[in-house]
Chains A and B, each alone.
Chain A
Amino acid sequence: MRLVNMLAQVDAEKCTGCKTCVKVCPTLAIQIVDRKAVIDSEKCRSCNNCQQRCPVYAITMVKREKPFKVYVDPATEDRTKIDELCAKAKFNPEQIICYCTETRAEEIAAAILKGYDTPEKISLHTGVRTGCKVECIQPVLRLLEAAGITPERPDGWQWYGRTPTVWDIPEDVKAKYSKRGFYFDNDIELLNKVAQTKKSGKEDN
């Protein structure tokens, strides 16, 4: 669940049309029109990325007159399919995958089942990747991959690709570093246990 309470606003006098904001926006809410950045207020999820990276400080965040929430209710999709997707991606459905929005794996799975087939669309509808903008890209890519989807990369720096998981680490690498405190196999055991444990029992909203 993401409360969207702010909105990016461009100072056209300062904007140089450099496109940095376009390249870092996780919901593709910015376009350059006549060499100036233009924000689509419907798509802005108030993540601050544009404001934080604009090289000429042309963007400020302002309070929205009407804040709103974005959320995909897992109860609106087939529970079995949600659980299958999460299991394939090695997540417990209730596992939190975005710490800023407290978004759980099951919500992302439900969003994918609704047809949101890119990280950008998923961010738009769930708010994931719009808090810290750093930590939750891999779970999103892993869940998309579990659904058999290879999303097309946007023409920016939003994300580059899925990276290795602990299950991918070659045995020879594990053996080489086994005495350095990395505990690969113990962590696999822990993550498997989390993924395979049953739900807490609380129903969806």
Chain B
Amino acid sequence: MGKPITPMKPRVSQYGVAPEFVTKRMAEYPEMTSVMLKDLFADTPEVIYPSEKGLDAVREAAEKALANVDMSMIKPGDSVNVCASHHGFTLLGGEPYALLLKTVRDIIAERTGTDNIRLRAGVGLRFRETEEYIKAFGLDKHYKGRAKGVAPVDEGIPIETEIGTLYGIKAIYDADWIVHVHNSDVREVHFHRQVDRAVKPFGMSYARIETRSTYHQNLGPRAANFTARAIFGSEFVQNKFAFAAFLDMSPAGVVGVDADNDLLALNDRLTVNGCKYYGKIITLFGEIDECIAGLDFPCPVPYVFAAGVIYCNFAGANVDLFDLDNPLPPYTWYTEAFYGKNGRPLVGDVPVVNPAIKMVVHNYAWGGYPSAFFSSHVPTIVVGREQADLINRDPQNIEYVKHSVIADDLDSAMEFAYKTAKTDKVIIFDGAVGGLNVSESLAQLLIEKAPQVNKRVDVELMPKWLKQRGIDPATVK
């Protein structure tokens, strides 16, 4: 246990309150401490970032990985769309992903002779989010004014696939070639279940509303992941796809950069890494018996991070999210859809939201994602009237504050939470890098439980997870 890790700073964004309204962070309380991932799991991978070399290590790793990629199909004068997603900018402050995007551009220009290279940055449900990142990280300048954010309501293009017509965003595909630049952070494992993780943006941030609705409404909680595979496998996309470059992430930071002309080969590698790197910490979170969860990070409610795990995965950590034999995690949109008018599940297959979360203190988290499910299932305190007002104006969260109480400040929220939740265990989703900020009582529990989780994942769970995804555990080191 050590002193708390500095939380990720608030970010200026139209989707959250201005940083000056975030007057105190949860990690500032004297009862808070930190636990490093290395101290929980000895096999936590070494990271190149953060490290003493700083961002240079990311550039070097990108250059090395891209040296093995064939770019000969791109001729001088050809147009190339470097396709990005908002998600990468939420990792470790966003600089490593922004640098990867810059490096990819530099190397394409250098090796192919073309200068017609554009950045197309897709989004989740906050349609101007990548516009904000493009400006903040100087990507518009680096791409010589050819950088833009694209949204799922922008003009579409039909894509014929093995299962029928799906729709992409026209601006993603309006070039001779596309290059897919993403990351392997597990993030929405409740949705993608670590199936085709590397392919997912083709069915999501590069896709139109029709396709995204197909994923979340038409195919079912596990079959949904075929949406992206169908689009990526289409003749239309295959004829444009040049290569992919990924930040290889672990909960502790950037492990390296992986790049390949064969996205499905890269996908298989990242599937294994994702299960390995994130499986243990998510399983350990499932061992927490009771706690107050603090949201304190510049992202929408479900996406705030602790030890590389997002809050909505903690909300489902009472179920093994990697085990595909479990049809429904405690939170997905399919799960949410299956609650009837009486507030109870329509079918018995719906697991409850993690009962260990006794209360949520929403100190700082954005709107821009439908989050009322969380406040209606877990008692929630929103800190500050400004934050509550901002959420109330958000068309995706008209009902969120209705299910919450509002505290004037963090001190009164914490006082109320301790009294009402009757636990002194606190976990803070504040983006702390390399570990997580928790109360001393919770730190002790995590340290005590980690060895048995370590063994269970290695011996029992990993082989099952890999087999379910068509990967022979014997082939994995």
Does B33 sit at the interface, judged by CB under 8 A?
A: no
A46-B217 Cα distance, complex, nearest whole Å? 24
Taking a contact as CB atoms under 8 Å apart, the answer to whether A138 and B213 are in contact is yes
Tell me the interface secondary structure of chain A in the complex: loop
Q: Count A-side interface residues using an 8 Å CB cutoff.
A: 67
Q: Does A149 reach chain B (CB closer than 8 Å)?
A: no
| Contact A104:B341 (CB < 8 A) given known A53-B151, A168-B163 | yes
Measured between beta carbons, the chain B residues less than 8 angstroms from A63 are: 393
A170 interface hit (Cβ, 8 Å): yes
Assess whether B219 is in contact with A136, with CB atoms less than 8 Å apart. no
Among B316-357, those with CB < 8 Å from A are 324, 327-328, 333, 336-342, 344, 346-347, 349
Q: Is the CB of A199 closer than 8 A to any CB of chain B?
A: yes
Contact A179:B470 (CB < 8 A) given known A159-B209, A193-B347: yes
Q: Chain A contacts of B398 at CB under 8 A? A: 2-3, 5, 100-101, 131
In chain A, what residue has the closest Cβ to B155? A157
- The answer to whether B165 and A161 have CB atoms under 8 Å apart is yes
Q: Mark B150-173, 1 if CB is under 8 A from A, else 0.
A: 011111101000111111000000
User: Which residues of chain B from 176 to 206 have any CB-CB distance to chain A below 8 Å in the complex?
Assistant: 193, 195-196
Residue of B223, B324, B339 contacting most chain A CB atoms (<10 Å) = B223
Count B interface residues, CB 8 Å.
66
Q: Does A124 make an interface contact (CB < 8 A)?
A: no
Give 20 CB contacts A-B under 8 Å.
A92-B340, A99-B333, A99-B336, A131-B395, A132-B369, A132-B370, A135-B209, A157-B154, A162-B210, A163-B167, A166-B223, A179-B470, A180-B195, A180-B470, A183-B324, A187-B219, A187-B327, A188-B223, A201-B342, A202-B341
Say yes or no: A24 contacts B217, CB within 8 Å: no
Q: How does the 8 Å CB contact mask read for A170-205 relative to B, with 1 for contact and 0 for none? A: 100100010111111011101101100101111000
Interface residues of A in 105-143 (CB under 8 A from B): 130-139, 142
Across the A-B interface, give the 5 residue pairs with the lowest CB-CB distance, nearest first. Answer: A187-B220, A200-B340, A183-B222, A138-B213, A52-B127
Q: Please tell me if B261 contacts chain A, counting CB pairs below 8 Å.
A: no
B114 within 8 A of A: no
CA distance A63 to B373 in the complex (A): 25
Q: Which of B153, B167, B222, B347 contacts A187 (CB 8 A)?
A: B222
| Chain A hits for B340, CB < 8 A | 92, 94, 199-200, 202
Residues of A whose CB lies within 8 Å of any CB of B are 2-3, 5-6, 23-24, 46-49, 52-53, 61, 63, 92, 94-97, 99-102, 104, 130-139, 142, 157, 159-166, 168-170, 173, 177, 179-184, 186-188, 190-191, 193-194, 197, 199-202
Q: Which residues of A contact B399 (CB under 8 A)?
A: 102
Contact status A135-B212, CB under 8 Å: yes
Contacting pair B217 A157 (CB below 8 A): no
**Does B269 lie at the interface of the complex (its beta carbon under 8 Å from any beta carbon of A)?**
no
Select A169's contact among B226, B344, B395, beta carbons within 8 Å.
B226
Min distance, Cβ A99 to any Cβ of chain B, angstroms: 4
- CB of A182 within 8 A of CB of B222, answer yes
- B340 → chain A closest CB, angstroms: 3
In the complex, chain B residues whose CB is within 8 Å of the CB of A191 = 220
Q: A99-B337, A184-B220 are in contact. List 9 more A-B contacts (CB 8 A).
A: A94-B340, A99-B370, A100-B396, A163-B211, A164-B166, A173-B163, A180-B470, A181-B324, A187-B223
A158 to B208 alpha-carbon distance, docked (Å): 10
